Amino acid sequence: GPFGAIIVKDGKIIGAGVNSVTSLNDPTAHAEVQAIRDACLNIGTFTLKDSVLYTSCEPCPMCLSAAYWSRISKIYYFFTKKEAAEI
């Protein structure tokens, strides 16, 4: 689907991702996970403490777990899961 996510720390975008599940044939390549991977690479650590995840859709359980393990502080989303299913 048409999903995207960014991670912001101290007012600066440190990571971005788009849904790449079908293009990569990777069921874990959701926009949120891709953004977390990008942010960790960009800042050189697996801890994203004090960072905020902005995403186009309510995160699934896998993405929420990834945000938890990376210690993202807040998550904001635009569409609920139900609304996204209607797209």
86 assigned to active site = no
Residues 32, 58, 83, 86: which is the catalytic one?
A: 32
Q: Quick one: pLDDT band at residue 40, thresholds 50, 70, 90?
A: very high
Q: What is the pLDDT of residues 3-36, one digit of tens each?
A: 999 999 999 999 999 999 999 999 999 999 999 9
Who wins on pLDDT, 80 or 84? 80
Q: How far apart are CA 20 and CA 31, in angstroms?
A: 7
Write b or e for each residue in 30-50: b if 16 or more Cβ atoms lie within 10 A of its Cβ, otherwise e. Answer: bbbbbbbbbbbeebeeeebee
The fourth-level CATH superfamily of domain 4-81 is Cytidine Deaminase, domain 2 (3.40.140.10)
Residue 84, CA atoms < 13 Å, CB-side half-sphere: 15
Q: Tell me how far CA of residue 30 lies from CA of 57, 60, 73, in angstroms.
A: 11, 9, 19
Who wins on pLDDT, 3 or 84? 3
- Which amino acid makes up residue 72? I
